[in-house]
Amino acid sequence: MEGIKGDNLLKDKKVAILGGGPGGLTLARLLQLKGAEVKVYERDFNKESRVQGAIVDLHFDSGLKVMTAAGLLDSFKNVYMRGADKYRIVNKEANIYLDETNDGKEDDFNNENFRPEIDRGVLRNLLIDALLPDTVVWDSHFLSMEQMNDSWELKFKNGTTAFADIVIGSDGHLSKVRPYVTDIQSLYSGTTIIQGEIENPESACPEMYNLVNNANLLAMDIGKTIAAQPMAGGGLTFYAASLYPENWTKNSSINFNNPDEVYAYLVDYYKKWNPVFFTLFKACKQFIVRPLNYFPIDQHWEAKSNVTLIGDAAHLMPPSGEGVNTAMLDAFDLSECLCNEEFNDLKTAIAAYENKMRSRAAVLAKEAIESIQDFASPSEQSIKELIEMFQS
């Protein structure tokens, strides 16, 4: 990785990326390939301190394209989860509507419809291993920053400080960097999911483990859905989704820190479903409740000269399979703009990136908002259309 040359806008600049998720780490890799001086500040104590969550699929024209640009596609091919891109759709009785797990199709990275899955933790480690030593500064829970002439002084919960010429917020939908860019707040989508993870489903809920069969499982009935996905190491992640009033989490009498209370609620809510799904709830020892919010589709702000956002910090939207892919595209576009000698200054480069980012995100967010109700509260017609879409 060579140093910055010529009139590049990042020459002699220190770049701080707040948040060590896929978007932030991808940006660090791309900038280092261009010779930039980069640090990633991550709140986790180390990379083993917590499970990273569900699998993610990378798409031909976004995630996989960026992995190729980062020189990491071969590494990705060595660790992705073969077969996990297949789908199974079942009804509330666990009868199978559609099953791709035995379709006989081979993985083809040249097929634009192939969307290989990878465990989030594995993807994170792949990206970290591709960075220069000590790029990621662990145990760096960002609190605030203060403008110091043309630079920023960053302050962290552990009492440390750092200085950077450019700050990029990659710290998710609750971003603490976003207020330095815009005061636009998120809106509630009408959907809430209750999420759980099971480390040993093969023994804890074997019937459910076999029903998932290392695929993306969608169990759908009028008004509610359960989705389940494999995790690296044989685990499962699941999401129980439906429409709930805003602030339902706070206003309900459920103690979501008590697994027995959440289990009792879910069994009652899904009481007409096959009891095989109850074994999934019973095997879960900790639940997370997540109201799904989004930033307004038409959001706009004036570009700053030394701070910007990528990923959910910039354009939070309901889950649609595009989140990680869009964050990685953000990273690619921002790295290209910041290292483009055609721009006269950083503010112009950041403005060009943000205009492109917002335009793309607006289209994807509109699609996500329109489809989230069909996922969380499907009708007979939407279930039929979903099955026909997969069959085609």
Q: Is 85 annotated as a binding residue?
A: no
Q: Is 50 annotated as a binding residue?
A: yes
**Cβ contacts of 261-268, under 8 Å, gap ≥ 24:** 262/194, 262/287, 266/194, 266/240
Can you tell me the distance from the alpha carbon of 94 to that of 107, in angstroms, rounded to the nearest whole number? 27
Can you tell me the distance from the alpha carbon of 373 to that of 358, in angstroms, rounded to the nearest whole number? 23
* Sole residue written with tokens 């697994």: 259
Under 8 Å CB-to-CB from 197, ≥6 apart: which residues?
51, 53, 231, 235, 236, 237, 238, 284, 286
164 beta partners? 152
Q: HEC string of 221-236?
A: ECCEEEEEEECHHHCE
Q: Is 120 annotated as a binding residue?
A: yes
**What phi-psi label fits residue 82: left (phi over 0), alpha (psi between -120 and 50 degrees) or beta?**
beta
> Cα-atom radius of gyration of the chain, to the nearest Å?
22
- Which tokens go with 107? 């993985």
Can you tell me the distance from the alpha carbon of 384 to that of 390, in angstroms, rounded to the nearest whole number? 10
Q: Is 57 annotated as a binding residue?
A: yes
Can you tell me the distance from the alpha carbon of 171 to that of 294, in angstroms, rounded to the nearest whole number? 15
Can you tell me the distance from the alpha carbon of 92 to that of 73, in angstroms, rounded to the nearest whole number? 39
* Sole residue written with tokens 């055609």: 342
Binding-site sequence positions for FAD: 57, 120, 312
Which residue numbers belong to the known binding site? 50, 57, 120, 312
Binding positions for NADPH are: 50
